[in-house]
């Protein structure tokens, strides 16, 4: 019988595609094996367990996402950069819902440490804010606020949390306007508290 030609990378990518199709919480070892026309047990040569599989999908998605964002913000500054970052973020979340959901799971700190995804994400995010002239610790606070807002907005949008008729796209643009104003009027931390 012809072999499926499985490989760790191929399995993870298929899992990511499956997540976009049926939702991240529904990517199961069995379903994945079915896609390849292979028995469940065969996947365990390439992936330790479901936990491991999900972590890998998360890292794949996180890498793809920050790459797209990085391209979008390249050569931009100030509000231009903010909007480009935010729109690339949201576009990814809407286009690849399963992969985006994967990026939200808790990941083992040991894995985080040896992956480049988080470093790149931090670099791009801090870089985007460069034009606003913030310095630590305000910078960290601002990054956290922005991440929270993007994360929260896309999460609520994806889960149908916005019931009112007002257009979600319009609200998003308004939110970006507001965040831009906010970054320009950022209440500076006089106390330099740690």
Q: Would you call 36 exposed, middle or buried from its count of C-beta atoms within 10 A (0-12, 13-18, 19+)?
A: middle
79 binds a second copy (CB under 8 A): no
180 binds DNA (CB under 7 A): no
Size of site (CB under 8 A) for a second copy: 46
- Smaller CB separation from DNA, 5 or 75: 5
Size of site (CB under 7 A) for DNA: 24
**SS3 track for the chain:** CCCCCCCHHHHHHHHHHHHHHHCHHHCCHHHHHHHHCCCHHHHHHCCCCHHHHHHHHHHHHHHHHHHHHHHHHCCCCHHHHHHHHHHHHHHHHHHCHHHHHHCCCCCCHHHHHCCCHHHHHHHHHHHHCHHHCCCCCHHHHHHHHHHHHHHHHHHHHHCCCCCCCCCHHHHHHHHHHHHHHHHHCCCCCCCCCC
- Smaller CB separation from DNA, 54 or 96: 54
111 binds a second copy (CB under 8 A): no
Within residues 135-194, the interface with a second copy by CB under 8 A covers: 137-138, 140-142, 144-145, 147-153, 155-156, 159-167, 170-171, 174-175, 177-179, 181-182, 185-187, 189, 193-194
- Smaller CB separation from DNA, 56 or 90: 56
- Smaller CB separation from a second copy, 68 or 180: 180
Q: How far is the CB of 2 from DNA (least distance, A)?
A: 6
From the list DNA, a second copy, none, partner contacted by residue 39 (C-beta under 5 to 8 A by kind):
DNA
How is residue 181 written in tokens?
A: 């104003």
Within residues 7-46, the interface with a second copy by CB under 8 A covers: none
Judged by CB under 7 A, the stretch of 34-42, 67-75, 77-85, 173-181 that binds DNA is 34-42
- Cα 51 to Cα 62: distance, rounded to the nearest angstrom: 16
Question: Which positions touch DNA (CB under 7 A)?
Answer: 1-7, 28-31, 37-42, 44-46, 48-51
């Amino acid at each position: 019988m012809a072999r499926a030609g499985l490989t760790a990378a191929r399995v993870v990518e298929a899992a990511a595609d499956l997540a976009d199709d049926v939702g991240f919480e529904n990517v199961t070892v069995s379903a994945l094996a079915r896609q390849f026309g292979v028995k469940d047990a065969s996947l365990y040569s390439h992936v330790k367990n479901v936990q491991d599989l999900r972590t890998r999908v998360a890292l794949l998605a996180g890498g793809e996402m920050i790459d797209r964002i990085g391209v979008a913000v390249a050569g931009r500054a100030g509000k231009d950069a903010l909007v480009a970052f935010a729109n690339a973020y949201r576009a990814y979340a809407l286009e690849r819902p399963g992969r985006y959901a994967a990026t939200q799971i808790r990941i083992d700190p040991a894995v985080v440490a040896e992956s480049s995804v988080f470093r790149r994400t931090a670099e791009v995010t801090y870089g985007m804010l460069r034009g606003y002239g913030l310095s630590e610790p305000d910078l960290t606070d601002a990054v956290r606020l922005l991440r929270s807002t993007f994360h929260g907005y896309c999460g609520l949008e994806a889960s149908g949390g916005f019931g009112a008729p007002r257009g979600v796209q319009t609200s998003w643009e308004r939110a970006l306007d507001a965040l831009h104003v906010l970054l320009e009027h950022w209440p500076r931390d006089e106390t330099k508290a740690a």
